[in-house]
Structure formats: structure tokens, C-alpha cells
Structure 1
């Protein structure tokens, strides 16, 4: 029997739209029955306590989000909305994310989303509820990313708490969510993160007989290679010493390349279909892992919360794989990790800076425009970052080079980083459309797509029994546990000096500095934690230095890592051992699997794009 795949839990959404007590009603915006043109943004749940709805209209107001509420009684209620002005880090005035709260089609009063420097409960005023069954709507006024976490109606004069821990307890009480998840699922392997690495890890392990849970906090798979972010695959597959590695990447990967292209280029349905075809995979989309339980040096369970319904599930397994990119599961489990750049002396890397620092590669908000037959209006957008004839980017699209946040923390400052990406795209486009000397060249151009899910390159790196360094790769130090090959250059990003001239400390463009390599097999010991005994990792969060990350982070390479992790998990399960135990006692068995591969469909390799430049095989 095919294992049940959990996609969007529509029934749960219908059953838990809101909560009510004798004198109050709490509405979670992300749980509205009809979201209209508003989008669910879960990227910052760990920072602000919840996912939220956002009016991502790229300057055009979006359709209202609506839900039906049954109030405990008619009468007068005080109303509070949790929101803020997302441009406040750069602009002191009224922000652009304007919206109104509507009750039974009537405006409740003030324009919201224009004030506040952080997420907070803002008082709307008093509203008279005339019918117990009432429609509540969010009415967007600008299309410029107004955002709503929750709405609270109360007969009291006290808003909910703002402090995250207290707010979390308040939510659970109001929504009737148990303190600990009532649903528990057991698996042979739990993979957290449904990017390319997590997807291939799940498929590989499932094909080798493990019962696998794949947890992904978005409705689609692929991560940066999905239609939500739109970064094409990079690197090569079918490379010595294990040319069978990459067979799964070949099966799930899009046949067309290109960054910031139309959605169909990224073939979300192919990845989804490949996962759903595997009877041993239970897929949990729209669930975000938020807590880890450990016993000694082992993970015992992971808790995940649905990003719309707030339903929580506990996942139990003897083995876990952190494919989150941010190393979230490892971090929560107490795994050793690094972040930022190591000093040159720490590992003897010639490319490393003299002194260690917190600089990371940044995140990209990609975008593109299209030419229409008639003039297209775009509002004036000026919110704290000045664009003029000298500093504007006269372009019609922005891909990987539009990169923000290198000087900020890619975990704790991530909402600000993403928002700055949106800010500069809109500001630059507004100048081109409204003020530029060449504005006639842009008069018929429409801003067609801007990512609101940011494409992140670097954050935490979980430390394994081996830390891959620059000289491992450049000196071709092949270890006994050689596994997935990296074929990309050592490709490190830095703020674009030209952009720095115009926007010092506020850069949004990057340059790439490449150092060519020979195709290099990554040691398997980089793919499991050195101090959390049952934790694998695959993706950009594996055990490497900042410099070595420059070569292993492209997605065909991370996908092959996922295949290796799935194979290693099957060996570990077979022998009731740990990831380290596979290296110490069963490495030959793992190598045999890497030689054979887990390809299933004998698919032709159609991915002859963005393979990268290297010096060729080592002589």
C-alpha cells in the first residue's frame, strides 16, 4: 500500500479558522479560508512566532483575503492587528504596506501596516459586531507587501502579549493547541528540508527500503530550484569516482536552465511526482520543524507545525537528516556549527581573510519584467534608499547578482535581509519608470515577477568528523571515504565595489570570485554531525569552511550529497549503527551502493546547462 502523502490539509484549515472564548476571538491570518491574492510567508516563523499573510502585488493591490467567523456574542469589541511597517529600518515616515481591516464589508477605520518598527499589536479601535456569523477581510491598498500575522477581537482593553514566549503560550491557549503534539509518527529516517538535497536523500533512502518522512515548510519541493526562488541547478553529475551518483538528480531536475525565468522552467511538478511515486515516502508539505528533543547525544524526535493550521506533529526515528540549509535541526539539537569566515591561520586557507569575521554570502530576491503593448503604470516608491541617474541599475531583470545581507546575520536578521531585497527592487524600478532619462524605454514594461521567498546561500555549517577546507580541494587530498563529487569552482561572493560606491554598507549587488578546481570527491565524514550521533546533513549546511562552501553549495552537488546520505542511512539502519558507524565499520558497503546508484527510470540526462568550469580530471 502506498504511504499517505500529506499535502495541503484543507480539512484542517476549514475546521480551525479561528478560536473564540467567552469574550474574545483570535484569527490567525495565514489560516483565512480564502486568501485572495495574499501569500503565506513562513520564512521567519522562528523569529516572530508565526507565519503570516502578505500582500505581494508588486505595486498592484491584491484581492482581499476573507474568512467567516462566528463570534460568541454580538456587541462592541476592541480590535488589535499584529503588523508593522516593513520599511522602518530605512525610512522614518509612513510605510508602503497599506491595508485595511474590513468587517462584513465595512472598513473598521485606520489604514494599517504603515507604522511600527517591529512586529507588534496595533489597536484598530472599537468595532460593533451585529451578527454572530461575520465575514472578516483584509483589504490591500498598495500591493507593496503589507503583512498581517493575526487579528484579535476582545471585549477587554488588553492586547495580546508581544514577547515571543508569552505570545506562543497565548496562541496555544486561544487556539486550543495542546502543549505537546498529540499526533506522533514513527519512521526509519526523518528528512527535514525539501530542497534538492532533502528530496534526493528521501528518494534514495526510500528506494533502499527505509520508511521515510520528508518534511518541507513550503507547498512545493526544490528549495532554491523551485518556482518560488528560481535558481537553476549547477555543477555536474555522473563524475568519477562514482558516476552513478546523480541518477536521482537527473530524474528530478528541470531540463531547462536559467535564473529568474518563468515558473514552468523549474518543473515543480516533476519533483513532486517523483516523491509521490515512492511508496516508502510520507510527504509533509507546509510543515515547519520548530523543536527537537534529544536524549544524550541523540535526537529522539522532531516537532513540526503546519504553517497555516498550526497543527503539530511529533516525528520519531532512529536517524535524522538535516537538509534545511540553515542547519536548524542540528542547531536545535546542540550540534557544533560554524558561521561566517574563518581566519587564514585557522585552517591555513590562502583565500580566507587574515581575521575571522561574520561575513557570509548573501540572499537573492530575483525578479524580471515583461514588455507589454501599452504603457504600464508603476507607483512612485521612495522609502529611504535614494536612486538617481548615477546609481540606478538600467536593467529589465535581476538574478543572482542582486544579493543582500552579507553584513547581517542570515538567521536572525533574515526578514530585514529579504525586505531590503524587495525595497531595492521596487525603488530601482520606480526610478526607471518615473524619473529616469531613459524612462521611455521602460514605459511599456511590467514588473512581472519578484521573489518573496529569498534564495539563501550561506548560514550555519554543521561540523562533522571532517571539515572540508580549501587545500583539501585544491591539493586534491582524496580520502578513503570519498563520496559525492564537487565540480564547481570555489565560487565566493563579495559586495560589488561599484555598488559599494553608491550604497556603502547597504549593498544589494554582488560579484563572484572564482578559483578553478579539479572535480573533487567530498569525504563522507562531512555529511554527519561530529557530536549528535544520529544526525546526517546534506546541502549547504555540511561540514566545510566558508571557503570550501564556495564549491559544494551548487544544487547538483548537494543533490548527490542527498543520494549518499540516503544510502548511508540504509546501511546504518541495516546494521543498527550510527552515521559514524557506517564510516568506521561499513564503508565498503556504502561504496558499493555509491558505485551502483539508486536510479530507477534510466532517464536521459537533459540537464546540459550550468555545469561550471573546472580544470578537468586530476592526472
Structure 2
């Protein structure tokens, strides 16, 4: 036991020494977070992978054209020679390409430093060069060289070229806080009746309905705009019927939101119109504290300035899509396909595996008045006349990551789609037998936020499966959310598998119909009985007592998810959990007790 205490003591002393050393040398370091730049120019803010690589970053998303410079003012305390580093990497290094596509340089006060950046094999500090500092105020500029997805996390000025700079996630977090004067303890964000994490369709519905019924609600969103997959950042079309008997009120909120989805400022106006709803955009939830089997608080970090805020509530809703809050809180979850022996689903595989529905990037081209060139992109996927896709745009069928972890491998999956789209376009423009048809076309739009379909699914008191969709195998007394979309399984196309086995990026969809032979997405509102209904017990955690979930992360099998995941359906889930949260407050109870003691009142409120 004494050895254990001695080891703990030594670890604490070591940590204290490191902290003291950093503070002692603080005058020799100036850290600039790229995401905090005053003028981002043509660079965009990408926060999708901050749980994996430690931070948001700026992305030079120029679709093949160098983007406008990003710049900011930096205060440097001492004159003299300073050495400059950037945290970045060659995002194509997982594929061992000879060329690094995302190169950029740094300029200080108009002087461009010597070294090209974006060359390393992992996220790490690359040396940009040295600069003579003559004034306290200085202008730092990011200069994109390619337009092909260069990325910069942070810039560090140091007096000592060979300084040991932390790069491991936890060490880097301490380093950032100390150099940027971010308090160790987060700011108190207040107490709420309901905290909603994620402002996609489900989160918006939950937050707005909850606030309209008198709950004090915090809505936390890690992007600057609301809408999730249906936002202008991702552009996935919403599907699913709403306001279907007997719960004709279910869908009112999401229908109202959908009417203004193309104008996100109007969605924000809807949020701001609710006096008891506090909206926190650009805030990413990264930590949760618990007392027993309940979440006590969540802590979120601002994706531009690093500010941390802690939110307290007796009730939480995970509408993050990835099940991030549930994961942080230790909720039971599933990933991949369940085996047929477990679920008795005819569409399930013989053995369980990690295969999931993939992520999507959308893109399109436009016709120009004259010929437009495009580089060959040797670093991208290489095509020929047989393997290429002869298209002028791409939507949900440009899908990848079927065999990868959609959370921890998310940057790899998104970047692989970049390589596929750029490589295909480069071949069509330069080397295909029909290149004349593309001579006057140029890439016009490409999303960089990936549209996800499946990752973690949190387990509730009921685990919804294929039979519940197809034949109403079990009659649930709490069946409430209408599902009208077919079972929609995605697979790589045979052609894509033939040319790119195991690394596919083009999908095909197989819709499984109901007993009438009608795709569920085309059923009319007046058809009775409805195709199927999702039980309320799928919308709260089996082992975290005060955690609701709404969206694609609810308690369903992989097969069932392919129907329940569509956005109008998930929006109704948000409305249901808001109605349940109202009863939780009214009766001072937990989500499970609403089912046990107050189910009729819940269902009546949705009619």
C-alpha cells in the first residue's frame, strides 16, 4: 500500500513540476489557436474531430483553389528572434501518398516564413521558421497554397527552437489552458430543467417544445448553425410522415421548424423567441459529471475561444447523433450489426460485426463560359474509364466508412471521401475519354461536414428491431412515434467493390417494403393502422436514470435504425422526450417513472 501511495505522490509531484515549469517558461511561449483568428478569410472552422485530436482547427476548403488568407493580431511580449511552429499534418499520409495536398505557409507582419507546412504523418508541431519581432503587436497570416484541405490547429511562438512542445492530447490541454489563461474550473452556466445536447432536428424539437411548455432549457450545439444533417452545412433532405392519428399533435414543432430550415437565421429567431430557452452555439460537450446513476452536469468548450462552461440539470437529452453524452456518462450502447441469433431479424447477419451505414459528402459542379482547368491530384484516388463515376454532382450515394469507427475514425472517413471526389473529378477533367464534356465545368460546392447515418446507439428499456417495423411483432403500450420510412439498407455498389474492395465510397440502397408492398416513405397520412410506432421506452437510457435520447442514437438495432433515423421521425422523438420531461418536472420523477406511473398522461398530451 505504501508503494501505491508513493507512486501517486510521485505522479502528483511530477504533474506539479511540469505545471511549474510551463508557468516559469510562459514568457518564452505565445500560443495562438487558429480557430480564434479574427479574420478567417476563406478558411473554415472544423470541430468534428476535436475529441480525437484535441482541438478544432481551420480548414482551407477551397475545392482546388487556394483560399483567401486568414489573419489575426498577436501580442508578443519581447523583441528579438522567435521560432514559429504550427500544429498540422499531411492529411493524406494514411494512404502514403508522395504528395501532400494541403500545404500552406505562415507570414508574420507580411514576411512569409521559409517552410511549407502540412507535411507530417500525424497531428504534430511542424517548424515554420524564425522571425525577428520588433513590436508588441504583430499580424500573423495563414497562406493556403493549394485549396486542397490544408489544416492548422494552432501556432506557437517560442524563444527556444528546440523546446519540448506537448502534443499528447491531455498534456496539450494543460499547455493550452496555461498559455491562454483558461481557468482550470469551468464557468458556471447555471441550472436548467432540461439540457439538450445537439441542435439537429431532434434537439431543436425537444428544446423548443420543452420551452413552450414552461421548462427552462439549455440547447447546446457544436456548430455555428442549427439543423444538423438538414442544415445548409450538410444538406440532407428530411423524410418521414408526421401528425398521424391518433397522435395528431406529434409533429407540430418539427413541421414549423422545417418551414424555415433553408433560412437558418429564421430557425435561430424561433429559438430566441422562447424566453425560457437559452441557446449556446459553437459549444462542444466534452465532459459529464455524475452522482450515482444520474448525470449531474455537462461541460462544454467553445470551439473558437476555448471557454468552458458547466451546465447543471436534473434531466438531459442526448441529441448529438453520435451518442456523445451517453458515452461520456457511461450509458450502455451498441455499435455495428447484431447477429440474427440475438435479434431474430431476417436481415441481420449470421455473426455480429462492426459494419455501419456510412457517412456522406455532397458536391456539385457548374457550367462556366470557358474551359476550366483542374489539377490531376496524384495524391487522390486514381481512376480509369471503367472505375470512374461519370457524374456532374454527388449526393447521399457518395458514402464511405462502412467498416470503420464513425466516431474515432471520422477524420479518415471524411478525408477518404475528399480523395474520392477530387480524384474522380480530376480524371473526368484531364484523362477520361469524355473529358470534352467536362471542359467547361468546375466544382462549385462541396460540403466538409460529413453527414452521418450511424455510430453509437444508446440502449433503452426496449430494444426496437426489424420485426417491430415489419409486422408489429410486439404490441407496445407506449408505442408513440410514427415511423413511415422503409427499412433502407446501404451497401457499396458491386462496381465500386470490384474496383476498390474494402475501401468503397459509392453506395446503393435496398428498400424493404411493408406487407402491402408499399415503401413506407410513400404511405399517406390517412392510412390506418400506421406502419409502425416506436415505443417511448426506446427514448431513455437503461442505465443512466436521467438521460433521454432522441435522434439516430436511440435504442434500436442496426436494421431498425435504417428506418427510424430519418429526420422528421427523429424530430417527433424530440417532441416526445420534451413532453416526458415536462411530466418529470411536474411529478419530480425520472424518465422511466413516466412510463410506469404517467404513461396515459404522456400519450394524451400528444393527441
Secondary structure of the residue aligned to 2:215 is coil
Q: 1:558 matched to which residue of 2?
A: 570
In structure 2, C-alpha distance between the alignment counterparts of 1:196 and 1:485, rounded to whole Å: 15
In structure 1, C-alpha distance between the alignment counterparts of 2:441 and 2:382, rounded to whole Å: 22
Q: 1:134 matched to which residue of 2?
A: 138
Contact 1:495 1:508 in 2 (8 A): yes
Contact 2:382 2:427 in 1 (8 A): no
Contact 1:226 1:267 in 2 (8 A): no
In structure 2, C-alpha distance between the alignment counterparts of 1:52 and 1:447, rounded to whole Å: 24
In structure 1, C-alpha distance between the alignment counterparts of 2:299 and 2:282, rounded to whole Å: 13
RMSD: 1.2
Contact 1:121 1:159 in 2 (8 A): no
Does 1:510 pair with 2:507?
A: yes
> Which residue among 585, 592, 597 is the counterpart of 1:573?
585
* Superposition map of 1:4-19 within 5 A: none
In structure 2, C-alpha distance between the alignment counterparts of 1:548 and 1:352, rounded to whole Å: 10
Of 350-359 and 84-93, the range deviating more from structure 2: 84-93
Contact 2:71 2:140 in 1 (8 A): yes
In structure 2, C-alpha distance between the alignment counterparts of 1:24 and 1:479, rounded to whole Å: 62
Does 1:116 pair with 2:120?
A: yes
TM-score, normalization by structure 2: 0.92
Contact 2:360 2:398 in 1 (8 A): yes
Q: 1:475 matched to which residue of 2?
A: 471
Contact 2:296 2:312 in 1 (8 A): yes
* Superposition map of 1:280-295 within 5 A: 280-295=276-291
Structure 1 position 592, deviation (Å): 1.3
Question: What CA deviation, in whole Å up to 9, does each residue of 1:475-497 have, x standing for no partner?
Answer: 21331001111110011111111
> Which residue among 485, 488, 496 is the counterpart of 1:488?
485
Secondary structure of the residue aligned to 1:126 is strand
Does 1:186 pair with 2:191?
A: yes
* Superposition map of 1:356-505 within 5 A: 356-476=352-472, 477-505=474-502
TM-score, normalization by structure 1: 0.90
Q: 1:72 matched to which residue of 2?
A: 77
Q: 1:163 matched to which residue of 2?
A: 168
Structure 1 position 405, deviation (Å): 0.5
Contact 1:241 1:521 in 2 (8 A): no
Contact 2:240 2:566 in 1 (8 A): yes
Q: Aligned pair in 2 of structure 1 residues 205, 404: CA closer, same or farther (>3 Å)?
A: same
Secondary structure of the residue aligned to 2:35 is helix
In structure 2, C-alpha distance between the alignment counterparts of 1:272 and 1:373, rounded to whole Å: 38
Question: What CA deviation, in whole Å up to 9, does each residue of 1:541-568 have, x standing for no partner?
Answer: 0000001101100000000101101111
Q: Which runs of 4+ in 1 moved over 6 A?
A: none
In structure 2, C-alpha distance between the alignment counterparts of 1:491 and 1:243, rounded to whole Å: 26
Of 473-482 and 224-233, the range deviating more from structure 2: 473-482
In structure 1, C-alpha distance between the alignment counterparts of 2:122 and 2:210, rounded to whole Å: 43
Question: What CA deviation, in whole Å up to 9, does each residue of 1:51-95 have, x standing for no partner?
Answer: 000100000111100011111111111211100001111233231
In structure 2, C-alpha distance between the alignment counterparts of 1:514 and 1:187, rounded to whole Å: 42
Contact 2:380 2:423 in 1 (8 A): no
In structure 2, C-alpha distance between the alignment counterparts of 1:182 and 1:325, rounded to whole Å: 26
Q: Aligned pair in 2 of structure 1 residues 230, 532: CA closer, same or farther (>3 Å)?
A: same
* Superposition map of 1:330-349 within 5 A: 330-349=326-345
Structure 1 position 248, deviation (Å): 0.9
Q: Aligned pair in 2 of structure 1 residues 230, 111: CA closer, same or farther (>3 Å)?
A: same
* Superposition map of 1:17-28 within 5 A: 21-28=26-33
> Which residue among 226, 247, 251 is the counterpart of 1:246?
251
Structure 1 gap ranges (5+): 1-19, 256-264, 596-619
In structure 2, C-alpha distance between the alignment counterparts of 1:355 and 1:342, rounded to whole Å: 7
> Which residue among 212, 221, 235 is the counterpart of 2:217?
212
Structure 2 gap ranges (5+): 1-24, 515-529
Contact 2:85 2:157 in 1 (8 A): yes
In structure 1, C-alpha distance between the alignment counterparts of 2:81 and 2:335, rounded to whole Å: 51
Contact 1:172 1:179 in 2 (8 A): yes
Secondary structure of the residue aligned to 1:560 is helix
Contact 1:80 1:159 in 2 (8 A): no
